[in-house]
Chains A and B, each alone.
Chain A
Amino acid sequence: MTLAISEFLARAELDEATLEVWVTEGWLIPDQGSGAFGEGDLARARLIKDLMKDLGVNAEGVDIILHLVDQIHSLRGALHAASRAHEGE
């Protein structure tokens, strides 16, 4: 499900310039077809805000944390798929 950009900015409490920076950094990646963002991106934007605002992480730190978070989720996905494949045998 995709969100209109205005809705995305409003719900993420973001301004357009910040969003542009985050996309340039690769922290948020719009859908390759529609160029839009979805609920998952919104939750990701909130995570970035938590990191920068409440947890005092700077941009370099956010970059590293997101990379590690992506690795953890990819790994978790692989483990889930592997355990399902294993059960299905």
Chain B
Amino acid sequence: MKDPYDILGVSRSASADDIRKAYRKLAKQSHPDLNPGDKDAESRFKEASAAYDLLSDSEKRRRFDAGEIDEQGAERQREHYYRDFAGGANADPRYYTASGFADFGDADDVLAELFARAGRRRRGGDLHFRLRVNFLDAVNGGKERVTLPDGRTVDITIPPGAEEGQVLRLRGQGEAAPQQGEAGDALIELSVAAHPLFERRGHDIVLELPITLAEAVAGAKVKTPTVHGAVMLAVPKNSSSGAVLRLRGKGVRRSDGSFGDQLVKLKLVLPPTPDAELEAFANSWSGRADYQPRKDWP
């Protein structure tokens, strides 16, 4: 141990009052419980306390000054500080208070999200459910009234553009807190049912549109379903099977409020059974030089 006067930063002639002041100043900066994040605090505090114990006792100080005792063995024995029990995962909820950061949970930012998750430890448990929603409700949004396993009925708002596996959080609808904390949340994982016509690809909707030979050759306005209702789609003259037409803005709503597109893939469909007249007509057509659909093949 260093010289106790050096540790406290006082002269050998310092008064008891000076020594006390010097110690209090050091203790404020080094007491482990007043500086819970400072790992070195404990050793500095021990040193300062030992020096103070020696110099604050006038008899011990006199004997030290006279060289009768040295600075050894004066350290206080202390197994633990309060900080060793507080704030960790096993911290006692009796002394817990959110009053230092409760307002973070109100803001809509990264910290709020982190604190909301951190605070959840002391709240009631979250309950997990799965909800199957139909395709169009997931695309356009909707309301669903569901009965939870414990008998409560809740109205769930499905946001437009909801995706497979998306989790909706119903605040406070989970388990009650063990003590006076907030109830947990109900977490509802969505599973989106398939649609007979539409297929979702990100924010676009894909639809296969069957067309007749006449529509493919001559072009036509064809009534085409979209997730927002039917529209008349102009199929251009001379459209081949597999051609894709784009209906802008007829897809799924994005979080920024814009919409994806609907992609319409044409599918030329011949009559269900062979037709003699059509066969004769096709054979009678002389064709033309540039009509070679496989000409690019290697």
Contacts and interface: CB of A to CB of B under 8 A. Distances in A.
Contact of A77 (B27, B34, B87): B87
Contacts of B49: 54
Given A69-B33, A72-B36, A73-B86, A78 B97 contact: no
B27 A85 contact: no
B115 A70 contact: no
A82 B117 contact: yes
Given A69-B82, A71-B97, A40 B114 contact: no
Interface residues of A, number: 33
B85 A50 contact: no
A6 interface: no
A75 interface: yes
B100 A75 contact: yes
B65 interface: no
Interface residues of B, number: 40
Nearest to B27: A55
Contact of A85 (B20, B78, B95, B117): B117
Contacts of A70: 86, 95-97
B82 A29 contact: no
Given A47-B33, A70-B95, A71-B100, A40 B85 contact: yes
B253 interface: no
A70 B87 CA distance: 8
